[in-house]
Structure 1
Amino acid sequence: MSTKYTIALAPLDAFGHVNACVGLAQTLRDFGHNCVFIVNQNWKNMISGLGFDYQIYIEKHKTDSKDKFWIEMMRESANILMLSPFEKLRAFEAPGWPPLTENVRLSNDKIKLIIDTIKPDAIITDTFLTIPAVVSAGVPWIDLISCNPLYYWTDPRLPPGGSGYATNSDKKLWKEFINEAIDAYSDSWESYNKWLQSVGAPALQNKFRFSNPSPFLNLYMCPLELNYEDIAPNDPELCFNIDSMIRSDVINNTTNTFEIPKELSEKSGKLVYLSMGTICCSDLALMKRLVSILSKSQHRFIVSKGPLGDDYELPDNMWGRNSLPQLQVIPLVDLVITHGGNNTVTESLYLGKPMIIVPVFCDQFDNAQRIVEKQLGLRLDPYLCSQNELIDAIDRVVNDFNLKAKYELISQRMQRSDWRTKCVQIINKVINRSKNATNDS
């Protein structure tokens, strides 16, 4: 590549979004670009440890524990999390928008100063909110969508994100869901939209969303087998699908290889990995419920226990730690039981391991439903499923050899995929087009 560009990345202050931006930044760096992260203080050690430059946009949380925040949030939401996706709109999601929008208001001026300092040729965001400093920077801004694309898009051909509705379900339900979200979010949306315009940013286009699609390029992460292109095809020049966003430093790591603990390796039964992600595992009651049910299974389990792992014990057919190297664990197991976050779903497909998805909130419902629609696994309610339902589901999936063969083919295809080259090419094209337009004017 002849031209080296400086590209800024501004992810939402959450692991999944930071992780996705890191995966993309590693690819851009491999092709010669200089990547600079604009992040909260909490992420500087991770970013610098991977060899990237960074700028801190807010330091007020530098002594706070992210685990403490999620633990408290999940504790306060204990009863709410058992509600349906529709009921969660008002009870769980709507209260989350004010702190998110307030964070942008507080940090926008600092982000603008950082952008003016580093003078990037393009900016990549992975957030659910318009950041005025980004969209008004005078360079192409590219939206990276690391959640299920339904949770971000608003396409009448597709069910609304976060609903978990099937693509062939009653569209009246879709409309009711959207109307409920608009009503539930209205106060936060109106306030944020008014503020955006007061600082020179474009008005929001849709009352169901707190950001607009990028007019330059939108990248979304969705394995081809789960993509919605069969229903709602997109212009790849404006909306490009990244097949997988797995960090190269993790997938290529050959050190500290995880081994099955002796207390499990000597037992019989299939080996199952239970992971509820970085947030859902903070629901202590839920983790205890799942562990109690799975203790009745004939199979063996590796459990990612989460930040409250010291508060509960595992039975004899299980072994776990509060934190595990997930991409080293998954290749060794026969099945993954997961909340359905985009990272774990993509990683399981990439590594050829069938899934049972037990969604808790947001786009996890959409990922779970899409897995079912594509006949690639099962979906259960982690709060309401019975012991027999979950144990029977495990037996069905681990003994489904046709499903295993499907996953092996998907894994082979994903590992051969050349999305990285194509993605960098289209980003280069966007930057070059912008520079040419500036020179012509």
Structure 2
Amino acid sequence: MKQKVIAFFPEAAYGPALNSVGIAQACEALGHKAVFLTDPGMSGVYAGYGFEEHMVNMSAPMPAEEMARYWVDFINGHIPNFRKTPLEQIDNYVKECWAAIVETAKWAQKDLPAVLDKVKPDLICVDNVILFPAIKQYGKPWVRIISCSENEIEDPDIPPHLSGMSIDDKAGHAQFRQRFEEVVGPIHEDFNQFLQAHGEEPYPLGTFFEASPYMNLLLYPDAVKFDRRHPLPPERFHYLQGCVRHDTPYEIPQFRAHNDEPLLYASFGSLGSGDVELLKRLIDAVGKLPYRALFNVGEHLDEYPDLPDNVQISNWFPQPSVIAQVDAVIHHGGNNSFTECLFFGKPAIVMSYVWDGHDNAMRAEESGHGFKLDRYEWTEAQLAEKLAACLNDEAMRLRLQRTSAQMQSRKGPQDAATILDKVLNDA
């Protein structure tokens, strides 16, 4: 078999990046060559897993250190908006995000044609929320990976993407969709002008990407997916049941207190770690409880000089290895954290702050796999109550056990690689 080149182009964020790493590892196991197209701000992430990297500028070129800080500063600047409801965030965080995302598509178009000509991929996999015309027009099959919540693919019977609403709140769905279209209207019009300038048809209001005609891979597992009015056709949409990568093994450290008690893991992702005051409050609350806890605090290690004896912190953890060993997780609703908890059968308290974290928090609660807790409006008694339920709710434990067994039996990365191999062979 002639080795085929599969180019992965994930969004410049760790969630999509590491999902694609898991799939790329499985593709190489089948004998293909996986390479990564990447924003310079993520340079080194894929090389760390042994993959070739090809840079695509998605903003004005700047020094690497400045580039790496761009989205961190963007998030930190919005911390006051994290206290707002998803509906209220449309006018600030969501609006600014979409404006920035449209600019990334325009910048990427400058580099992509030449990079694709250099890499010569036989297949391109895109994990992003926006179309890059050069990829669609390259002349080779392209696959869309949806590592955000499943409602990124709209349906009239499910909550709108980013809304965090219950499936039953139909009036709320309509209100959210109307406000979203009003606020992003000018940004969307600008994007449509860009599409037309590059030979593409304009998209309907509110749509920034289309489904691939070849294949679309969704990370959501069956246990939490939505009941749609229009089911996604299986020949073009495949649920991967999660996509957990191979990562560094992690050895649980010794704790000075409660060393034999249940172990918690808390992480708000690489960007959410900037919410230092919230993490300090959580650490203080957990310090009073009969548990051990590992906290991911990102770049802010020096801001935690005094820690309880039952808490340890780090700037980074090999998360799949950690979640596999803990008893419960507190996270922000990022899709990696959400699906990894389900994959390993771990109950979670989801304290969302932006984007599809709101949707995943609601899905965790509505599907009985965890709890949704307001990020700021909570008491120590409420946190203790939710943690006790995570550890002692027998029905939830059995539900998570079933979901984990089903997800692990499917082997998402290998499943994805087999499907991509078929797309290559059919091309």
Give the TM-score range, shorter chain.
over 0.9
Identity of aligned residues (%): 28
Q: Deviations over 1:217-239 (max 9, x none)?
A: 11111122112257653211111
Whether the 8 Å contact between 1:126 and 1:144 is mirrored in structure 2 is yes
> Aligned residue for 1:100?
101
Match of 1:166 in 2: 166
* 1:261-410 equivalence runs, <5 A: 261-264=254-257, 266=259, 269-312=261-304, 313-410=306-403
Q: AA paired with 1:144?
A: I
Q: How does 1:24-35 map to 2 (within 5 A)?
A: 24-35=23-34
| Structure 2 letter corresponding to 1:214 | S
Number of residue pairs matched by the alignment = 424
User: Map of 1:32-181 to 2, 5 A cutoff?
Assistant: 32-58=31-57, 60-65=61-66, 68-150=69-151, 152-169=152-169, 171-181=170-180
Partner of 1:259: 252
Aligned-residue offset at 1:177: 0.4
| Secondary structure, aligned partner of 1:405 | helix
Taking the aligned partners of 2:228 and 2:181, their CA distance within structure 1 comes to 28
CA offsets per residue over residues 84-126 of structure 1, 9 Å max, x none? Answer: 0000011111012222222221231211111122222221111
Query: What secondary structure, in the 3-state scheme, does the structure 1 residue paired with 2:324 have?
Result: helix
Rounded to whole Å, the distance in 2 between the matches of 1:197 and 1:331 is 47
**Paired residues of 2:108 and 2:132 also in contact (CA < 8 A):** no
Q: 2-side partners of 1:51 and 1:298: how far apart? A: 41
Q: Find the aligned partners of 1:174 and 1:399 in 2 and give their Cα distance.
A: 34
Inter-partner Cα distance in structure 2 for 1:74 and 1:298: 33
Choose which of 428, 432, 436 in structure 1 pairs with 2:421.
428
What's the CA shift for 1:61? 4.2
Distance 1:67 1:55, change over 3 A: closer
Contact 1:136 1:201 in 2 (8 A): no
Aligned equivalents of 2:208, 2:284: Cα separation in 1: 40
Q: Provide, for residues 193-219 of structure 1, a one-character-per-residue CA deviation record: whole Å limited to 9, x for no partner.
A: 101111112322x32232122222111
For residues 263 and 137 of structure 1, the distance between their equivalents in structure 2, rounded to whole angstroms, comes to 58
How big is each residue's C-alpha offset from its partner over 1:114-170, in whole Å with a ceiling of 9 and x where there is no partner?
1122222221111111111111111221111111111x211112110111111222x
Q: 1:423 to 1:78 in 2, by over 3 A?
A: closer
Could you say if the C-alpha distance between residues 337 and 232 of structure 1 is closer, same or farther in structure 2, counting changes exceeding 3 Å? farther
Inter-partner Cα distance in structure 2 for 1:104 and 1:32 = 31
Once residues 421 and 216 of structure 2 are traced to their aligned partners in structure 1, the CA distance between those partners, rounded to angstroms, is 14
Q: How far 1:288 sits from its partner (Å)?
A: 2.2
Query: In the alignment, which of 215, 218, 225 is matched to residue 220 of structure 1?
Result: 218
**Matching residue's letter, 2:239:** N
8 A contact 1:71–1:283 mirrored in 2: no
Q: Secondary structure at the match of 2:145?
A: strand
Q: Indicate conservation of the 8 Å contact 2:18/2:245, yes or no.
A: yes
CA contact (8 A) 1:148 1:363 kept: yes
1:381 and 1:66 mapped to 2: Cα distance?
Answer: 31
Q: How does 1:200-215 map to 2 (within 5 A)?
A: 200-204=199-203, 206-215=204-213
Q: CA deviation at 1:65?
A: 4.9
Structure 2 CA distance for aligned equivalents of residues 140 and 303 of structure 1? 41
User: What amino acid sits opposite 1:163 in the alignment?
Assistant: S
Could you tell me which runs of 5 or more consecutive residues in structure 1 were left unpaired when the two chains were aligned. 435-441
Describe the superposition over 1:30-61 as per-residue Cα deviations: whole angstroms up to 9, x where unpaired.
11212221112233423223222221122824
SS of the equivalent of 2:19 reads helix
Instruction: Write the letter of the residue equivalent to 1:107.
Output: A
Aligned residues of 2:269 and 2:332 also touching (Cα < 8 A)? yes
CA-to-aligned-CA distance 1:302-357 (integer Å, 9 cap, x gap): 11122223213422331211222222322332111111111011111222211111
Provide the secondary structure at the position in 2 that maps to 1:314: coil
Q: How far, CA to CA, are the matches of 1:219 and 1:153 in structure 2?
A: 11
Report the 3-state secondary structure (helix = DSSP H, G, I; strand = E; otherwise coil) of the residue aligned with 1:45. coil
Range that drifts further, 286-295 or 141-150: 286-295
Q: Is the 8 A contact 2:124 2:143 kept in 1?
A: yes
Secondary structure of 1:7's counterpart equals strand
Distance between the aligned counterparts of 2:26 and 2:393, measured in 1?
36
Deviates more, 1:371-380 or 1:413-422: 413-422
Q: Aligned in 2, Cα 1:410/1:370: closer, same or farther, shift over 3 Å?
A: same
RMSD: 2.1
Q: Judge which range, 392-401 or 56-65, deviates more.
A: 56-65
Q: Residues 139 and 70 (structure 1 numbering): CA distance in 2 closer, same or farther, change over 3 Å?
A: closer
Residues 18, 427 of structure 1: CA spacing in aligned structure 2 closer, same or farther, 3 A cutoff?
same
Q: Secondary structure at the match of 2:42?
A: helix
CA–CA distance in 1 between the matches of 2:251 and 2:229? 40
Partner SS for 1:8: strand
Is the contact between residue 75 and residue 283 of structure 1 (CA under 8 Å) also seen in structure 2? Answer: yes
Match of 1:438 in 2: none
Q: Give the Cα separation in 1 of the matches to 2:56 and 2:369.
A: 41
CA drift at 1:75: 3.1
